[in-house]
Amino acid sequence: MKKICLLLCIATVVSLSAISQEDLKPFKFDLSLGYAIPGGKGAKGGVLFAAEPKYAVIPSLAVGLRMEVAVVARGTSNQEDNNSEFEVKASGSYLLTADYYFTDNYSFRPFVGGGGGIYTLAAATVSEYDEEVNSSSAKSKFGGLARAGFESRHFRFGVEYNFVPSTKFEDQYGSENNITTKNGYLGIKVGICIGGGPR
């Protein structure tokens, strides 16, 4: 009797697992809007927008290209702890990504992921003591990201951190001073998935 009960339990678990696993289309396109939270003194949060085409090389692993624009006031750090005002425009990034999904259940698919690529940082200025002005031209830096979240049908939610090296500012004589800007930021996103549903 115990063996029969055990076999029935195993059969039930297997059948439920088979129902929850779906054959999903490999290609999809993610569009996301979110809030960017930069680090450093005087940083101000802003908005971000991302587009990411993806292809599932196997059901649990999708690779893609994330293209993102973020508008934030990055934070400064210096040794003298003086007052400074920082101003920046939008910056963009192009990263190769990979997401691992823990299930093929179209109704709820938690994931973790990462990636690496180029961050194009906008030109910026820093004003110290309301007098001296330092500036940096637009530059590109290699960086990466780590993220986690979930998808539920066509809805996507994710939290990701962008690891971007800091920028050192130069004074009017072309020499580096003690002010740097922290370029990394945390992104909290909601979005839609176009495609990728059941076959």
List, for residues 73-91, the tens digit of each pLDDT value.
776 666 555 555 566 667 8
Residue 26 has pLDDT above 80, yes or no: yes
Give 175: exposed, middle or buried? Use CB within 10 Å, 0-12, 13-18, 19+: exposed
Q: Report the predicted TM-score, pTM, of the whole model to 2 decimal places.
A: 0.76
Q: Please give the average per-residue pLDDT across 168-175, as a whole number.
A: 59
DSSP symbol at 161:
E
d(CA 164, CA 179): 16
Q: Is 15 helix (H, G, I), strand (E, B) or coil?
A: helix
- Please report which helix (H) or strand (E) contains residue 16, including its range: helix 2-20
Stronger pLDDT, 52 or 20, i.e. the higher one: 52
**Amino acid symbol at 46:** G
Stronger pLDDT, 110 or 134, i.e. the higher one: 110
Predicted pLDDT of residue 14: 42
Predicted pLDDT of residue 66: 97
Give 41: exposed, middle or buried? Use CB within 10 Å, 0-12, 13-18, 19+: middle
103-116, pLDDT tens digit by residue?
A: 988 899 999 999 99
Residue 71 has pLDDT above 50, yes or no: yes
Q: Please give the average per-residue pLDDT across 120-139, as a whole number.
A: 64
Domains observed in the chain: 21-195 (2.40.160.20)
Query: Using only C-alpha atoms, what is the Rg of the chain?
Result: 23
**Amino acid symbol at 118:** I
